[in-house]
Amino acid sequence: MDERYYICDKENNEIVYGYIDYNQIHGFKIKPGNNIPYDGVEVSRLVLVKPSLIENVLKRKTKHKLNAYLAFLFTIIDDDDDDSETLELVIDDVARYKSIIINKYSKFLDKKYINRLLKKVGMVERELKDKLKELTKQNTKTQGKSR
């Protein structure tokens, strides 16, 4: 099946239709996450080519993800009876996110921003690991010798 693309020309107010091979375009590929049905053009994937637009999208995306991790971290710190399995899953997810930042996002963002982002994610990861160690110590104390 041929894939259709649309180009909007602002100067002439016209839309150009055509077909394109997405494998030959070098840019940041995005799959829209909205599941809201509407009448109109359905977008299954999007390739961003303009560097400034890629940078803005990635910065906003990383900011939202980091805020989600921080919110989870604060709920864990405030809550005393947390599950260590959930915490291990989140630590694995943070490690996966770090690898995505290094492998995928570093191509499009500057090194200074990447280093700052990795420091922030590393701090979140350290705090989660500390909380996991604390939970395991509490579990071993409660499962210790009893007479």
pLDDT one-digit tens code per residue, 44-71: 778 888 889 999 999 999 999 888 888 8
Position 3: which residue type? Answer: E
Over range 121-127, report the average pLDDT.
90
- Find residue 47's DSSP bridge partners: 29
Lowest mean pLDDT among 10-19, 42-51, 54-63, 114-123: 10-19
Q: Provide the token pair at 19.
A: 């077909």
Given this model, what pLDDT does residue 55 score?
92
Asked whether the predicted pLDDT for residue 29 surpasses 50, the reply is yes
- Find residue 67's DSSP bridge partners: none
Of 100, 93, 101, which is closest to residue 128 (Cα–Cα)?
93
pLDDT category, 114, cuts 50, 70, 90? very high
pLDDT category, 39, cuts 50, 70, 90? confident
pLDDT category, 78, cuts 50, 70, 90? confident
**What is the C-alpha separation between 44 and 25, in angstroms, rounded?**
16
Given this model, what pLDDT does residue 131 score?
86
SS3 121: helix
